[in-house]
Every structure is written in structure tokens, then in C-alpha cells.
């Protein structure tokens, strides 16, 4: 057990808890061996699995790592059609979970799970050394399989463990699903290497349902019950936690390190969190680079940035875009290795991230937005809509936002409300955001989107990300009408910003 043995040298003092029972690392290794034996019996090589957070997720994952099999963790919020596409795309020969698929030819029961042998005629050749295939909904809604090695995941985890050494982070609660690369690497592996107590209860126990539904009272109950030193959140979960604190709910003082990633974190949200005593540290990562590549750290942080590049990352900035040398991905399931990415005339063995960044003289990275999203206003200003959108969605009443302003004198926004706020409440949100933005970034007109129309057209990916190009196509007439309205008003009263609120 080469990899697990190497891991266990540092993980020997670690414990795993599902919230009800706890196991020392020796017991975890025994469970890992049981999973490995059943995989051997099944002749499994490429194993897809859709399990809840818990000991079995951890043990199966370690069994796959230790036996050099290919792991394909699938988030529970992926749809049935996405799961079927993944199984075909990666050439999985085994599925662990409770599938209802037409190509089943044999099933082995193990504990409360089924190991299903899949009929596959795939001649897919995965890149050499592939240990894990992680899927992201991306910008098209169709999951894309990124192939990574086990060595890459452990290298990232080891770096994080080293960088956080000395901060006494000895109890980690997995709020996010372990099937997400960020929680798998920075949550599970980094804390195993730290010899921590890992608490991995089912998502419902921490108040999380699917990719975006949260019972914040249940989350606070879990934080109070488990008293973690560290958690990992996405910005929407941080917003819920901050809002709860601002409304008088108690935030447990046990937290020492709240890492936030997965999307741009509004500076205003970080400041609100800090005012409540929540120790927030923004980071930045890419699936293609093995998850986290930059991170703010205790004593080495700057609000509004994603921290400094981690020591194992070699990157540079070209024409404003972050380029990573020797990226960690081996390729994708359906394409040649992406390490040959030579867009923008970059040398071989580099990866153009598509993210526009700035780096200050202290090395802190500020993530401005996606290269393909930048638009130029009528006044010649280059604007990344992600900046403005993140400030809008930092308002509790706004779930998603899409901002447009190409060649326009005024920016306009389409907003998807969270819950059922009134027109006046949304208008107040936009006013607050505008007050915090320079004039060229302010919103001149806005409308709300019909969620039914949006969801039917897949304007939002399975993991909750906005697909701006799709939204622009769906609501093109409304966007053009807002542009016309703001231009007409600006012509008559050029010094005034106008906010409209027509409900679709």
C-alpha cells in the first residue's frame, strides 16, 4: 500500500467522524482494505461513485488512491442525464451508489451500497498516470472530465498543510461535498496530512441540499456542535453566514480559518465577515492545476485579493492573463492533453487560465474576471462583469446577476432574486452596490429574470454558475430595451444614474 502507507506516516494521528461515530486512522485503513478487496473481486478499474459525505466516501476514495485505480467522484447535485453522460465519457466499468441505469448487467451489494458493473464498449484511452477524473459543469452545462494524477492531489495537499503549519488547525468540518475537488484536496487530504480530526457528516446535517440550497440555522447548529477550527465555503455560503451574524445569530468563536473559493469573493463581503469576527481567507484555484494555486494565510493576507501563489505553482502574467507553467492536468477524457495549450502564443507546457489578474509588489493576486467576459464601454473603459456581479450577489436578495455594457454609456443588469423580495428591496440593493462602485461600473438599469424561463434554457449550470452568453441570448430584447432606455435618459439628463425595475 505505497501511497496510503506514505500518507499514513503523517495521518496516523488523524481521526474521521461522521458526526455520530469516530474512527482512528487504523480503523480507516481497515475499512479502506475492505473496499479494496471488493473492488478486486469486481475487477474494477475505472470507478465512478456518487456517495454522501461520510466514512465510506473517504475509505473508498483512499482505496482507489492506494490501488492505482481511476476514481470518478460524482457530485450528488448532478442530474441523472449528467451522470449517464459521465459514465459513458470516462469509460467507467463500475458504479458505486444506487443507479437506475439501462446498461446494468451485474450488481454486488456491499454495506448499503451497490457496486454495479457497467457494460461498456468504450475504447477510450485515458492519459497515463490518470488517478482521478473530476467533472465540472463549466460554461456549457455538459460536464467536462479533467484527468489528474494522485501525485498532483497529494502535492497540493502537502503544500497547503505546510503553509498552514503552526496555526493549530486540528479539527476540520466538511461543509462542501467531498466529491468537489476543493474539499477533496484542501479538506480531506490536507487535513489527513495534518493529523487532524475530520468531521464528514452527510450534507443535510450541515444544512446543505444540492448545490445551492442552505438552511443557515442548521449550518450554525453544526458549527456549534462540532466546534471546527477550519471550514471551506463558497461565496454564497459565506454570504448566508454573514447575513445570519448581522441579524443577531451567534457565530461560534471556534473558527480559526474559513477558506473561501470557487468564485470571486466581493471585497465588501470579506469586510462584513471580518467585522463579525469570521476569519475569512480568500483563495483561487483551477481544476486543471490540481485545485488551489493561491491563498491568503493568517498573517499573510490582503482583503480583495486571492493571496499569493503557493510554492508549488509556477506562473506568470501575459497581457493581463494568468499563465501557469507545467500545469497539473494530464489531459481531458475527450481531448489531447491540455498541457499543450498554446493559445496566445504561450510556450508548450503552459496553461492559459483565461483569468485576467493583477499582481501587486507584494505578490498578492487580484482576480478581475474571465478574459472572454471583458467588455469595453462607450467611454473606453475595460470592465470585467464578474466584479460587478459579485458585488450584486453579495446582497441577500440577489441570487444571480448578469451584467452587460459593451459599447454602452450605461451598464445594465439582469437579476435573479433570492426568495421573493419586493421591487423596492431589490432597488435598494442596486443602490447600495452603486454607491460602492466608481461611476463607470455602476448599473444604469436593471430587470429581474423569470426563473422558469431561465432554468428551462439552462442559463445556470448544474453547480449554480451563471452562463452569461445563454442569458444574453434568452433576454436579448430586454437587454436592448434597457440600453435604449438608459441612452435616452442619459441624453436628456447626462449627469444622473437611472435605476429601473421592470419585472419580466
pLDDT of residue 75: 87
**Closest Cα partner for 37 from 8, 67, 65, 16?**
67
Q: Which is it for strands 230-233 and 213-214: parallel, antiparallel or unpaired?
A: unpaired
CB 90 within 8 A of CB 100: no
Query: In which region does residue 262 sit, left (phi positive, over 0), alpha (psi from -120 to 50) or beta (all else)?
Result: left
pLDDT of residue 344: 44
pLDDT of residue 429: 96
Average pLDDT for 17-40: 93
Mean pLDDT of the chain: 86
Domain range annotation of the chain: 2-359, 374-503
- Minimum mean pLDDT among 106-120, 179-193, 204-218, 222-236: which range? 106-120
The CATH superfamily label for domain 374-503 reads: ANL, C-terminal domain (3.30.300.30)
User: What confidence tier does 22 reach under pLDDT thresholds 50, 70, 90?
Assistant: very high
Task: State how far the Cα of 481 lies from the Cα of 226, in Å rounded to an integer.
Answer: 52
pTM of the model: 0.84
pLDDT of residue 194: 93
CA atoms within 13 A on the CB side of 76: 17
CA atoms within 13 A on the CB side of 384: 19
Task: State how far the Cα of 234 lies from the Cα of 227, in Å rounded to an integer.
Answer: 19
Quote the cell numbers at residue 305.
Answer: 485579493
User: What confidence tier does 326 reach under pLDDT thresholds 50, 70, 90?
Assistant: confident
Q: How many residues does the chain have?
A: 504
268-287 burial, b if ≥16 CB within 10 A, otherwise e? bbbebbeeeebbbbbbbbbb
Task: State how far the Cα of 218 lies from the Cα of 224, in Å rounded to an integer.
Answer: 10
Of the chain, the percentage scoring pLDDT greater than 90 comes to: 61
CB 22 within 8 A of CB 54: no
Between residues 485 and 141, the one the model is more confident about: 485
- Is 233 strand, coil or helix? strand
What beta strand segments (E) does 261-364 contain? 280-286, 291-295, 308-309, 315-318, 321-325, 331-332, 350-359
Q: Answer yes or no: is pLDDT of 340 > 50.
A: no
CB 226 within 8 A of CB 19: yes
Quote the cell numbers at residue 483.
Answer: 440600453
Q: Answer yes or no: is pLDDT of 141 > 70.
A: no
- Minimum mean pLDDT among 217-231, 311-325, 341-355, 359-373: which range? 341-355
Q: Answer yes or no: is pLDDT of 453 > 80.
A: no
Query: What does the DSSP 8-state code read for residue 294?
Result: E
- Minimum mean pLDDT among 95-99, 156-160, 320-324: which range? 95-99
Number of neighbouring beta carbons within 10 Å of residue 329: 24
User: What confidence tier does 463 reach under pLDDT thresholds 50, 70, 90?
Assistant: low
Alpha-helix runs per DSSP H in 304-398:
385-392
Q: Which fold has domain 2-359?
A: Rossmann fold (3.40.50)
Helices 2-11/25-42 angle, 10° precision? 160
Residue showing cell 493583477? 358
- Minimum mean pLDDT among 150-154, 251-255, 330-334, 419-423: which range? 330-334
pLDDT of residue 462: 62
Q: Answer yes or no: is pLDDT of 2 > 70.
A: no
Amino acid at each position: 500500500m505505497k501511497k496510503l502507507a506514505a500518507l499514513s506516516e503523517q495521518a496516523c494521528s488523524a481521526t474521521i467522524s461522521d458526526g455520530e461515530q469516530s474512527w482512528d486512522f487504523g480503523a480507516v485503513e481497515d475499512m479502506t482494505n475492505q473496499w479494496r478487496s471488493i473492488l478486486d473481486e469486481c475487477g474494477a478499474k475505472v470507478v465512478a461513485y456518487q456517495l454522501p459525505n461520510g466514512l465510506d466516501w473517504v475509505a473508498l476514495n483512499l482505496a482507489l488512491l492506494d490501488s492505482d485505480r481511476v476514481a470518478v467522484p460524482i457530485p450528488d447535485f448532478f442530474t441523472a442525464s449528467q451522470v449517464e453522460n459521465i459514465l459513458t465519457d470516462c469509460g467507467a466499468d463500475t458504479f458505486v451508489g444506487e443507479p437506475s441505469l439501462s446498461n446494468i448487467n451485474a450488481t454486488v451489494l456491499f454495506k448499503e451500497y451497490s457496486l454495479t458493473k457497467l457494460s461498456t464498449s468504450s475504447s477510450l484511452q485515458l492519459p497515463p498516470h490518470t488517478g482521478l477524473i473530476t467533472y465540472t459543469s463549466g460554461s456549457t452545462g455538459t460536464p467536462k472530465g479533467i484527468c489528474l494524477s494522485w501525485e498532483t492531489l497529494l502535492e497540493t495537499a502537502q503544500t497547503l498543510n505546510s503553509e498552514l503549519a503552526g496555526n493549530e488547525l486540528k479539527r476540520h468540518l466538511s461543509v462542501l461535498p467531498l466529491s468537489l475537488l476543493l474539499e477533496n484536496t484542501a479538506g480531506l487530504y490536507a487535513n489527513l496530512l495534518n493529523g487532524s480530526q475530520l468531521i464528514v457528516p452527510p450534507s443535510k446535517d450541515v444544512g446543505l441540499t444540492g448545490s445551492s440550497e442552505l438552511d443557515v440555522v442548521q449550518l450554525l447548529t453544526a458549527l456549534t456542535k462540532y466546534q471546527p477550527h477550519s471550514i471551506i465555503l463558497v461565496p454564497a455560503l459565506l454570504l448566508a453566514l454573514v447575513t445570519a451574524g448581522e441579524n443577531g445569530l451567534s457565530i461560534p468563536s471556534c473558527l480559526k480559518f474559513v477558506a473561501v473559493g470557487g468564485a470571486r469573493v466581493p471585497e465588501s463581503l470579506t469586510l462584513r465577515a471580518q467585522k463579525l469576527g469570521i476569519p475569512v481567507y480568500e483563495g483561487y484555484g483551477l481544476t486543471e492545476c490540481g485545485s488551489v494555486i493561491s491563498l491568503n494565510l493568517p498573517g499573510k493576507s490582503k482583503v480583495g485579493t486571492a493571496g499569493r501563489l503557493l510554492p508549488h505553482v509556477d506562473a506568470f502574467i501575459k497581457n493581463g492573463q494568468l499563465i501557469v507553467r507545467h500545469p497539473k492536468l494530464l489531459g481531458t477524457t475527450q481531448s489531447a492533453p491540455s498541457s499543450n495549450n498554446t493559445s496566445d502564443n504561450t510556450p508548450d507546457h503552459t496553461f492559459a487560465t483565461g483569468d485576467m489578474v493583477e499582481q501587486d509588489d507584494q505578490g498578492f493576486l487580484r482576480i478581475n474576471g474571465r478574459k472572454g467576459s471583458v467588455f469595453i464601454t462607450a467611454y473606453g473603459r475595460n470592465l470585467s462583469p464578474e466584479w460587478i456581479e459579485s458585488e450584486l450577489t453579495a446582497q441577500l436578495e440577489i441570487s444571480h446577476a448578469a451584467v452587460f455594457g459593451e459599447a454602452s454609456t450605461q451598464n445594465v443588469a439582469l437579476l435573479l432574486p433570492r426568495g421573493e423580495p419586493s421591487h423596492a428591496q431589490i432597488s435598494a440593493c442596486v443602490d447600495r452596490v452603486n454607491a460602492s462602485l466608481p461611476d463607470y461600473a455602476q448599473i444604469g438599469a436593471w430587470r429581474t429574470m423569470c426563473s422558469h424561463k431561465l432554468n428551462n434554457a439552462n442559463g445556470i449550470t448544474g453547480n449554480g454558475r451563471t452562463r452569461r452568453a445563454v442569458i444574453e441570448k434568452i433576454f436579448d430584447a430586454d437587454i436592448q430595451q434597457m440600453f435604449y432606455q438608459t441612452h435616452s435618459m442619459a441624453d436628456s439628463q447626462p449627469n444622473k444614474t437611472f435605476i429601473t425595475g421592470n419585472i419580466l
